[in-house]
Structure 1
Amino acid sequence: QIYTDWANHYLERAGHKRLVRDLQKDITDGVLLATIIEVVANEKIQDINPKPKSQSQMV
Protein backbone atom coordinates (compact mmCIF):
# COMPACT_ATOMS: atom_id res chain seq x y z
CA GLN A 1 0.00 0.00 0.00
CA ILE A 2 2.89 2.37 0.67
CA TYR A 3 4.18 2.11 -2.92
CA THR A 4 0.67 2.57 -4.30
CA ASP A 5 0.18 5.72 -2.23
CA TRP A 6 3.62 6.99 -3.25
CA ALA A 7 2.92 6.46 -6.95
CA ASN A 8 -0.53 8.04 -6.72
CA HIS A 9 0.91 11.04 -4.90
CA TYR A 10 3.19 11.81 -7.84
CA LEU A 11 0.54 11.01 -10.46
CA GLU A 12 -1.98 13.31 -8.78
CA ARG A 13 0.57 16.12 -8.47
CA ALA A 14 1.25 15.84 -12.20
CA GLY A 15 -2.49 15.94 -12.97
CA HIS A 16 -2.79 12.40 -14.33
CA LYS A 17 -6.27 10.91 -14.23
CA ARG A 18 -5.15 7.28 -14.22
CA LEU A 19 -4.12 6.24 -10.73
CA VAL A 20 -2.85 2.97 -9.30
CA ARG A 21 -5.45 0.74 -7.67
CA ASP A 22 -3.60 -2.58 -7.68
CA LEU A 23 0.12 -2.01 -8.22
CA GLN A 24 0.87 -5.52 -9.45
CA LYS A 25 -1.93 -5.52 -12.04
CA ASP A 26 -1.78 -1.87 -13.09
CA ILE A 27 1.89 -1.86 -14.08
CA THR A 28 1.78 -5.20 -15.94
CA ASP A 29 1.81 -3.67 -19.43
CA GLY A 30 4.46 -1.10 -18.48
CA VAL A 31 2.47 1.96 -19.55
CA LEU A 32 1.55 3.21 -16.09
CA LEU A 33 5.00 2.29 -14.80
CA ALA A 34 6.57 4.42 -17.54
CA THR A 35 4.24 7.28 -16.62
CA ILE A 36 5.25 7.04 -12.96
CA ILE A 37 8.93 7.08 -13.92
CA GLU A 38 8.39 10.10 -16.19
CA VAL A 39 6.63 12.02 -13.43
CA VAL A 40 9.18 11.20 -10.72
CA ALA A 41 12.24 11.73 -12.93
CA ASN A 42 10.69 14.70 -14.77
CA GLU A 43 11.90 13.26 -18.08
CA LYS A 44 10.05 11.91 -21.10
CA ILE A 45 10.53 8.24 -21.96
CA GLN A 46 10.68 7.76 -25.72
CA ASP A 47 8.80 5.17 -27.80
CA ILE A 48 6.25 4.02 -25.24
CA ASN A 49 3.37 2.16 -26.87
CA PRO A 50 0.26 3.43 -25.05
CA LYS A 51 -1.77 0.33 -25.96
CA PRO A 52 0.56 -2.67 -26.15
CA LYS A 53 -1.08 -5.82 -27.49
CA SER A 54 1.72 -8.36 -27.30
CA GLN A 55 4.24 -9.29 -24.64
CA SER A 56 7.06 -7.90 -26.78
CA GLN A 57 5.38 -4.47 -26.89
CA MET A 58 5.13 -4.34 -23.13
CA VAL A 59 7.98 -2.82 -21.17
Structure 2
Amino acid sequence: MPIEIKIRKNEPVDRAIRRLKKKLDREGVIKDVRAKRYYEKPCEERRRKEKVAAFNAMLRARYNS
Protein backbone atom coordinates (compact mmCIF):
# COMPACT_ATOMS: atom_id res chain seq x y z
CA MET A 1 0.00 0.00 0.00
CA PRO A 2 1.63 3.27 -1.06
CA ILE A 3 2.05 6.07 1.43
CA GLU A 4 0.83 9.39 0.19
CA ILE A 5 0.25 12.84 1.55
CA LYS A 6 -1.80 15.58 0.03
CA ILE A 7 -0.18 18.99 -0.25
CA ARG A 8 -2.42 21.55 1.36
CA LYS A 9 -3.28 24.86 -0.20
CA ASN A 10 -0.37 27.33 0.04
CA GLU A 11 1.79 24.76 1.86
CA PRO A 12 5.52 24.93 1.19
CA VAL A 13 7.03 21.82 -0.36
CA ASP A 14 9.63 21.43 2.39
CA ARG A 15 6.87 21.23 5.01
CA ALA A 16 5.07 18.57 2.96
CA ILE A 17 8.30 16.58 2.69
CA ARG A 18 8.69 16.87 6.46
CA ARG A 19 5.18 15.47 6.96
CA LEU A 20 6.00 12.61 4.58
CA LYS A 21 9.19 11.77 6.47
CA LYS A 22 7.31 11.75 9.79
CA LYS A 23 4.66 9.46 8.35
CA LEU A 24 7.31 7.09 6.98
CA ASP A 25 9.07 7.07 10.34
CA ARG A 26 5.85 6.36 12.27
CA GLU A 27 5.02 3.42 10.03
CA GLY A 28 8.54 2.02 10.30
CA VAL A 29 9.27 2.09 6.57
CA ILE A 30 12.69 3.71 6.83
CA LYS A 31 13.77 1.39 9.64
CA ASP A 32 12.64 -1.64 7.66
CA VAL A 33 14.45 -0.56 4.49
CA ARG A 34 17.68 0.03 6.40
CA ALA A 35 17.39 -3.37 8.09
CA LYS A 36 16.86 -5.15 4.78
CA ARG A 37 19.68 -3.33 2.99
CA TYR A 38 22.06 -6.23 3.70
CA TYR A 39 21.44 -9.91 4.38
CA GLU A 40 21.52 -10.78 8.04
CA LYS A 41 22.23 -14.35 9.02
CA PRO A 42 19.59 -15.99 11.22
CA CYS A 43 22.03 -16.33 14.13
CA GLU A 44 22.91 -12.60 13.89
CA GLU A 45 19.25 -11.66 13.77
CA ARG A 46 18.54 -13.81 16.84
CA ARG A 47 21.52 -12.32 18.69
CA ARG A 48 20.37 -8.77 17.87
CA LYS A 49 16.82 -9.48 19.05
CA GLU A 50 18.10 -11.05 22.28
CA LYS A 51 20.26 -7.99 22.90
CA VAL A 52 17.28 -5.65 22.42
CA ALA A 53 15.11 -7.83 24.69
CA ALA A 54 17.78 -7.82 27.41
CA PHE A 55 18.07 -4.03 27.20
CA ASN A 56 14.30 -3.59 27.43
CA ALA A 57 14.15 -5.97 30.41
CA MET A 58 16.89 -3.98 32.14
CA LEU A 59 14.97 -0.74 31.59
CA ARG A 60 11.73 -2.28 32.87
CA ALA A 61 13.49 -3.60 35.99
CA ARG A 62 15.10 -0.24 36.62
CA TYR A 63 11.97 1.89 36.28
CA ASN A 64 9.34 -0.46 37.72
CA SER A 65 11.06 -0.56 41.10
TM-score by shorter chain over 0.5: no
Question: Which structure dedicates a bigger proportion of its chain to helix?
Answer: 2
TM range (shorter): under 0.3
Question: Which structure's relative contact order is higher, taking Cα pairs within 8 Å and 6+ residues apart?
Answer: 1
TM-score (normalizing by structure 2): 0.25
Larger radius of gyration: 2
